[in-house]
Amino acid sequence: MSHTIKAVYPGSFDPITNGHIYIAERAAGLFDELTVSILINPEKRATFSVDERKTMAIEALSHLPNVKVDSFTGLLVDFLRQERSRIIIRGLRALSDFEYEFQLAQMNRQLAPEIETLFIVTDARYSYLSSHAVKDIFNFGGPVQEMVPPGVYRRLRERFPRFDK
């Protein structure tokens, strides 16, 4: 009997960067299905709405046929159970990510022992890339074209026209 192995790659994706795309590509190569799932967090002020983030992620991942984009509220482990997945994918950049990621993984293990968190190490090109850094660099007039997919670059320019160089 064959069965489909599904993984979930959760995050804020505000907005999706080339680093996220790299992790999604690697994970898509390992599992039958991957759901990139955007956290709807009313307590955190996001730059882009969930719908905008979803649209940008769908565009950026359209070359990966076994990847879908979704969103979730509440606990991540509840979303995984609903999706019938037992694998959480997170990307690791530098050692500095580790403490936060370790805590998240431990919490999720306590909440749902049947679920595993798997880490994919990013490519050296993306070691220091983050959504926050992209927005900061763009706001100060720096070049971000190499860091994000074209759809995100276009939306950054539309959203912050006064910073466009």
The annotation places the binding site for substrate at 12, 44, 76, 90
Using the contact rule CB under 6 A, the part of the chain among 10-18, 28-36, 135-143, 156-164 near ligand PNS is 10-18
Near ligand PNS by CB under 6 A: residue from 50, 108, 147, 155: 108
- DSSP label of 164: -
> Is 104 one of the binding residues for ligand PNS (CB under 6 A)?
yes
Stretch that binds ligand PNS, among 51-59, 60-68, 103-111, 137-145 (CB under 6 A): 103-111
Q: Does residue 89 interact with ligand PNS by CB under 6 A?
A: no
11 binds ligand PNS (CB under 6 A): yes
The yes or no reply on residue 118 touching ligand PNS (CB under 6 A) is no
CB of 92 or CB of 104, closer to ligand PNS? 104
Q: Which residue's Cβ lies closest to ligand PNS?
A: 11
Sheet containing strand 87-92, strands side by side: 67-72, 33-39, 6-11, 87-92, 116-121
Q: 72 near 38, Cβ under 8 Å?
A: yes
- 75: contact with ligand PNS by CB under 6 A: yes
- Closest by Cα among 2, 20, 1, 18 to 10: 20
Residue bearing tokens 């002020």: 45
Closest distance of CB 20 from ligand PNS, Å: 9
* Count of residues near ligand PNS by CB under 6 A: 9
- Binding-site annotation: residue ranges for ATP: 12-13, 20, 91-93, 101, 126-132
Number of other CB atoms surrounding residue 99 within 10 Å: 9
Tokens read off for 54: 């979803």
Given the DSSP bridges, would you call strands 67-72 and 33-39 parallel, antiparallel or unpaired? Answer: parallel
The whole-angstrom separation of Cα 63 and Cα 91 is 20
